[in-house]
C-alpha cells in the first residue's frame, strides 16, 4: 500500500516509518524542513514538503495514497495559548485529510491519548476527554471516527502518556528534562500516581496493524505498561543522572501540572486480543536505564 504519513520523523513517526517500509508498504512523508525531508528519505520514504497548515498539500497526499497515518502535532506546552494553537492547527489538518478520503474506503489512522477513569484502568470502550486543555484533540478524533458511514476507514491509536525509546520521550521525558535543568529528579504530587507507557517500536507495529485491518470507527490502546508509578520513574532518572529525588510542586510543570498528578492507568487487553498485537520491547523502567548521565 502507498501510505501518506504526517509526523514521520519524530520519535514515534520514525518508528512507524521504518515499520511500514519493513512490512513492504511504500511511504510518502510530509516534511516541514530540509532536515526532516532528508531524514525521511534516508529511511526509505519519499518526502513531500509542507506542514500541518498546508491543507492543499495534505489533501493531495491523502488522495494520492492508499491510506494515511497522521502523527504530526506541534508539541508546544509553553503556555495555554500555545497548546490551543496546536490543537486548532491539528483539527484543521485532520478535517482536511478526512474530507479528502470520503467515499474511498481508505484507512485513516490518527492518534489520541489514553483516557483516564477514576479508580480503574481505562479501556478501549471509554471515551477520550473532549474538554480541558487538549480536549479539542479528542473532538478531532471523534470526527474522524464518525466518517465511517461516509466511506472512510478511520481508526485511532490511543497512545499512553509516555512513548519511549532509549529512555527518551513522552511525559517521562519531561521529567528527565526538568531534572537536567533543575538538578533534582522531581515528581509531582506524592509520586504514587501511575502513567501507562509503551516502547515506540511496539507502538509502531500497532499503527501498521490498524492501517492494514482495523475496522472503521474503532479505537485501540497502544499500552505495554498499564501503569508505572511516577516516583519509580523519578528514582531511576535520579540514579542515572546522579541527582537527588524529591517531590516538587505540580506548578513546576506548567500547564501539564494538573495532568501530571492524575492517576491514569490504561489497559490494552482488547487491542491485544482483537488485533493480535503483543509488545516485545523493554518496559519503561528498564528502558530508562539507557539514559546517559
pLDDT digits (tens, 9 = 90+) for 225-267: 999 999 999 999 999 999 999 999 999 998 889 989 999 999 9
What is the rounded CA–CA span in Å between residue 198 and residue 219? 16
State the first-to-last Cα distance of the chain, in angstroms, to the nearest integer.
42
Q: Do residues 58 and 52 make contact, with C-beta atoms less than 8 angstroms apart?
A: yes
What is the rounded CA–CA span in Å between residue 179 and residue 237? 8
- Mean pLDDT over 205-212 rounds to 98
pLDDT at 167 (0 to 100) = 87
pLDDT(126) > 90: yes
Q: Do residues 202 and 160 make contact, with C-beta atoms less than 8 angstroms apart?
A: no
pLDDT at 99 (0 to 100) = 97
pLDDT(133) > 80: no
What is the rounded CA–CA span in Å between residue 85 and residue 141? 17
pLDDT(78) > 80: no
What is the rounded CA–CA span in Å between residue 130 and residue 113? 11
- DSSP of 217-280, one letter per residue? TEEEE--SEEEEEHHHHHHHHHHHHT--EEEE-GGGGGGGHHHHTS---B--HHHHHHH-----
What is the rounded CA–CA span in Å between residue 21 and residue 236? 34
pLDDT at 87 (0 to 100) = 87
% of residues, the chain, pLDDT over 90: 86
Check residue 183 and give left, alpha or beta (phi > 0: left; psi -120 to 50: alpha): left
Distance of CA 223 to the CA centre of its chain: 11
pLDDT(293) > 80: no
At 26 the three-state DSSP class reads: strand
What's the angle, vertex CA 155, arms to CA 77 and CA 145, rounded to 5? 85
C-alpha cell at 87: 490543537
- Mean pLDDT over 184-196 rounds to 97
pLDDT at 47 (0 to 100) = 97
- The Cβ of residue 24 has, within 10 Å, a number of other Cβ atoms equal to 7
Taking alpha carbons only, the member of 111, 106, 141, 73 closest to residue 206 is 111
- DSSP of 190-223, one letter per residue? TS--EEEEEEHHHHHHHHHHHHHHPPTTEEEE--
Per-residue pLDDT tens digits for 82-111: 888 888 999 999 999 999 999 999 999 999
Taking alpha carbons only, the member of 240, 140, 244 closest to residue 187 is 244
Supply the mean pLDDT for the chain. Answer: 95
C-alpha cell at 279: 509488545
pLDDT at 230 (0 to 100) = 97
pLDDT at 136 (0 to 100) = 83
pLDDT at 85 (0 to 100) = 85
Per-residue pLDDT tens digits for 166-186: 988 999 999 999 999 999 999
pLDDT at 74 (0 to 100) = 84
pLDDT(216) > 80: yes
Amino acid at each position: 500500500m502507498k501510505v501518506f504519513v504526517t509526523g514521520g520523523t519524530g520519535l514515534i513517526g520514525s518508528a512507524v516509518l521504518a515499520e511500514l517500509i519493513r512490512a513492504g508498504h511504500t511511504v510518502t512523508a510530509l516534511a516541514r524542513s530540509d532536515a526532516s525531508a532528508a531524514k525521511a528519505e534516508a529511511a526509505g520514504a519519499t518526502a513531500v514538503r509542507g506542514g500541518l497548515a498546508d491543507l492543499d498539500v495534505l489533501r493531495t497526499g491523502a488522495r494520492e495514497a492508499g491510506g494515511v497515518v497522521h502523527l504530526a502535532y506541534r508539541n508546544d506546552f509553553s503556555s495555554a495559548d500555545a497548546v490551543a494553537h496546536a490543537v486548532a492547527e491539528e483539527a484543521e489538518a485532520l478535517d482536511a485529510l478526512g474530507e479528502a478520503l470520503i467515499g474511498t474506503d481508505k484507512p485513516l489512522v490518527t492518534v489520541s491519548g489514553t483516557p483516564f477513569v477514576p479508580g480503574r484502568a481505562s479501556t478501549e470502550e471509554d471515551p477520550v476527554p473532549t474538554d480541558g486543555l487538549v480536549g479539542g484533540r479528542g473532538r478531532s478524533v471523534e470526527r474522524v471516527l464518525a466518517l465511517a458511514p461516509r466511506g472512510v476507514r478511520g481508526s485511532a491509536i490511543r497512545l499512553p502518556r509516555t512513548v519511549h525509546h532509549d529512555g527518551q520521550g513522552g511525559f517521562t521525558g519531561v521529567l528527565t528534562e526538568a531534572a537536567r535543568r533543575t538538578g533534582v529528579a522531581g515528581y509531582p504530587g506524592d509520586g504514587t500516581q501511575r502513567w501507562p507507557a509503551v516502547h515506540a517500536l511496539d507502538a509502531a507495529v500497532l499503527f501498521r496493524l490498524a492501517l492494514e485491518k482495523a475496522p472503521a470507527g474503532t479505537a485501540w490502546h497502544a499500552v505495554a505498561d498499564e501503569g508505572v508509578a511516577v516516583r519509580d520513574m523519578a528514582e531511576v532518572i535520579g540514579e542515572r543522572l546522579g541527582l537527588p529525588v524529591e517531590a516538587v510542586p505540580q506548578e513546576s510543570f506548567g500547564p501539564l501540572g494538573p495532568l501530571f498528578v492524575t492517576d491514569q492507568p490504561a489497559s490494552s487487553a482488547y487491542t491485544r486480543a482483537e488485533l493480535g498485537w503483543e509488545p516485545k520491547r523493554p518496559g519503561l523502567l528498564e528502558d530508562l536505564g539507557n539514559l546517559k548521565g
